[in-house]
Amino acid sequence: MDDSYKWGVVLIACMAIFIIVLDSSAMNVAISTLVVELNTTVSIIQGIIAIYALIIASFMLLGSKIQDILGRKKTFLMGLIIYACGTITATLSINAGMLLLGWAILEGVGAAMILPATTTIVGSSYKGKDRVTAFGIWGGIAAVGAAVGPIVGGIFTTYLSWRLVFGSELVFVAGILIFRHYLTESEPTLKWKDLDIVGVFLSVISLILIVLGILFLTRPEYWRYVAVLVGSGSILFILFLWWQRRRINNGLEPLSDITLLKNRLFGLGTLNNVIQQIPLAGFLFIIPVFLQQVTKLNAFDTGLTLLPASMVILICSLLGAKLSSRIDSKYVLMIGFLIAAIGTFILSGVFNVNTHMQDLIPGTVVFGVGIGFLLSQLTNLTMAAAGKDQETDASGLLNCFKNLGYSMGTALIGVLLLLSVFGGLTAGIESTGLVDNTTKDEIHDGLFNYMEKMQTGTPQIPPQLVPYAPRIIDSTISSAMRQTFTVLSLILFLGFFTSLFIPSRKNPT
């Protein structure tokens, strides 16, 4: 590789990953505008956002395997063209159906081809310290894209048009196409007839059911379907794993080389990727919700609050790459998990009705330092376990589980927050000294309905709540956020514990 263009490949990969993660975080702040302009409902727009995540996760293994049939560069560019078609369709949308086709389906399929291809392209283009740095930048940009999305979405939605969120992505697509000569092609090793059709069917259907069940956790009215969806999806995924082993034993090409999961480094690396994604997703979900619903900040100021953390994540993803040249990567991971856990612990005590954006910055910055260290190591460490002929399978499995972890993080934190609100309401009501169960239940139901209606802008406090509402709401918010961030801390400590078992450099298998 020519030294003058040393970072050309990672630049292209970063532009691709940036626009993929930007969509959801940017458009989350434009939901109310989309409802009005497309003459639809909030639930339909939220459903489209969910389907986008669903499509990406479900088609990831297939998107990765296509690299073996077409070559990684051709797969990447084909995914980019499909993504661009989706972006144009979404930009020109005149109704929810058109937005669904463009954003959720076409962009989702394109992203499922792009994401694993960027992993193998970066992994094959750099060696040694450069490889660690490249993956650190790649991971850092992904987190930055998610964190600055509210700023981008807020500016475009408030001052221009939400359509420019999608339209601006075409600039990045054009830039990637202009600099595509930096990418190196791989020789196809399979033909279309070698593709495991049964494996494709089992993987797509099982992942759709699992992710859909996870997403339904955020909607209490659908909780009765969660166990059925996740259970049936898990059974089908187990059947998928059995089918893959059967094909491997019979000398046939599997959709994914699941023997990688037996590799200690790859298995633990993938597990730690999932563990890291859960608190990151929860953090990026819960902070904007709090700032916009409780403190009434607009999307732009919400994004500004997250900006220091996103910048620290990017900086520390580079510092972590340099640090790993001095100490073993597993210790960088352990440090990252501990620092991120400290950040969530700090944040657990700062939330109440009088919290200002500057109050959150210390905790978010500490959290960002830890996440930056994690992102600097996790992808490179996990992919290092794969042989050259396993790179496409490894990238598919890794990105599939990472997307599952991110979806799981958003859903679980949403559920935890909901349950914590119920608990906080109960504690707040009891603190008023009202001991009559009937009165207490009335206040409980009335106040919870009030907090739900805060999102519509038309809340009405029942008369009997007026004397108690401020104190109960403050107690509820503080309690719910403290419990939620305490759980995030525990998840990060779990990551610290599992990273203890990652093999050292001297014993990579």
- Tell me the CA distances in angstroms from 366 to 319, 341, 342, 397, one per residue in order: 14, 9, 7, 30
CA distance 78 to 59: 15
Place of tokens 């075409």: 170
Q: What is the mean pLDDT of residues 125-148?
A: 79
CA distance 362 to 351: 13
Q: What is the mean pLDDT of residues 58-77?
A: 89
Is the pLDDT at 171 greater than 80, yes or no?
Answer: yes
Whether the Cβ atoms of residue 382 and residue 398 lie closer than 8 Å to each other: yes
Please calculate the CA angle 182-403-63 and round it to the nearest 5 degrees.
50
Note the pLDDT of residue 1: 45
Q: Which long-range contacts (CB under 8 A, 24 or more apart) does 170-177 make?
A: 170/84, 170/87, 170/88, 170/91, 172/15, 172/16, 172/18, 172/19, 173/19, 173/80, 173/83, 173/84, 173/87, 175/15, 176/12, 176/15, 176/16, 176/80, 177/77, 177/80
Confidence of residue 305 (pLDDT cuts 50, 70, 90): confident
Q: What is the mean pLDDT of residues 492-496?
A: 93
Note the pLDDT of residue 150: 75
Whether the Cβ atoms of residue 496 and residue 275 lie closer than 8 Å to each other: no
Neighbours of 132 (CB within 10 A): 25
Please calculate the CA angle 132-133-137 and round it to the nearest 5 degrees.
120
Whether the model clears a pTM of 0.75, i.e. scores above it, the answer is yes
CA distance 397 to 423: 38
How many alpha carbons fall within 13 Å on the CB side of residue 108?
A: 23
Note the pLDDT of residue 469: 53
Lowest mean pLDDT among 61-70, 261-270, 374-383: 374-383
Q: Which residue has the higher pLDDT, 143 or 168?
A: 168
Note the pLDDT of residue 509: 41
Q: What is the mean pLDDT of residues 158-184?
A: 87
Q: In terms of Cα–Cα distance, which of 281, 303, 275 is closest to 374? A: 275
Note the pLDDT of residue 468: 52
Return the C-alpha torsion angle 6, 9, 11, 13, nearest 10: -160
Range with the largest mean pLDDT of 46-60, 73-87, 462-476: 73-87
Neighbours of 439 (CB within 10 A): 13
**Which percentage of the chain shows pLDDT scores above 90?**
20
**Which percentage of the chain shows pLDDT scores above 70?**
84
Note the pLDDT of residue 236: 94
Non-local (6+) Cβ contacts of 406 within 8 A are 53, 277, 278, 280, 281
Note the pLDDT of residue 26: 79
Whether the Cβ atoms of residue 448 and residue 422 lie closer than 8 Å to each other: yes
**Angle between helical axes of 469-499 and 329-347 (0-180°, round to 10):** 170
Q: In terms of Cα–Cα distance, which of 85, 95, 77, 91 is closest to 16? A: 77
Please state, rounded to an integer, the average pLDDT across all residues of the chain: 81
Q: Which residue has the higher pLDDT, 105 or 134?
A: 105
57, two tokens = 């996760």
Q: Which residue has the higher pLDDT, 5 or 277?
A: 277
Lowest mean pLDDT among 68-77, 93-102, 158-167: 158-167
Confidence of residue 111 (pLDDT cuts 50, 70, 90): very high
Q: Which residue has the higher pLDDT, 435 or 167?
A: 167
Name the region of 213 (left: φ>0; alpha: ψ -120 to 50; beta: rest). alpha
Note the pLDDT of residue 221: 75
Note the pLDDT of residue 458: 45
DSSP type of residue 464: G
Whether the Cβ atoms of residue 335 and residue 493 lie closer than 8 Å to each other: no
- Helix-, strand-, coil-residue percentages of the chain, each rounded to 5: 80, 0, 20
Place of tokens 């797509």: 204
Note the pLDDT of residue 109: 93
Give the burial class of 328: count Cβ atoms within 10 A of its Cβ; 0-12 exposed, 13-18 middle, 19 or more buried.
Answer: middle
Name the region of 345 (left: φ>0; alpha: ψ -120 to 50; beta: rest). alpha
Note the pLDDT of residue 475: 65
User: If you compute the radius of gyration of the chain from its CA atoms, what whole number of angstroms results?
Assistant: 23
CA distance 73 to 176: 12
Q: What is the mean pLDDT of residues 284-307?
A: 76
One-letter amino acid of 76: F
Range with the largest mean pLDDT of 41-55, 244-258, 438-452, 476-490: 244-258
pLDDT digits over 314-355, tens only?
A: 888 888 877 877 888 889 899 999 999 999 999 888 877 677
Report the Cα 462 to chain-centroid distance in Å.
39
Confidence of residue 91 (pLDDT cuts 50, 70, 90): very high
Alpha helix (H) ranges present in 38-127?
42-58, 60-70, 72-91, 96-99, 108-125
Lowest mean pLDDT among 91-95, 359-363, 444-448: 444-448
Confidence of residue 256 (pLDDT cuts 50, 70, 90): confident
Note the pLDDT of residue 448: 54
376, two tokens = 């600097």
Note the pLDDT of residue 343: 93
Report the Cα 436 to chain-centroid distance in Å.
45
CA distance 359 to 447: 26
Neighbours of 61 (CB within 10 A): 26
Q: Which residue has the higher pLDDT, 384 or 77?
A: 77
146, two tokens = 């998610």
Is the pLDDT at 372 greater than 60, yes or no?
Answer: yes
397, two tokens = 């499995």
403, two tokens = 């997307």
Confidence of residue 425 (pLDDT cuts 50, 70, 90): low
Q: What is the mean pLDDT of residues 114-135?
A: 84
Q: In terms of Cα–Cα distance, which of 469, 239, 273 is closest to 374? A: 273
Q: What is the mean pLDDT of residues 200-217?
A: 86
Confidence of residue 80 (pLDDT cuts 50, 70, 90): very high
Q: What is the mean pLDDT of residues 365-378?
A: 89
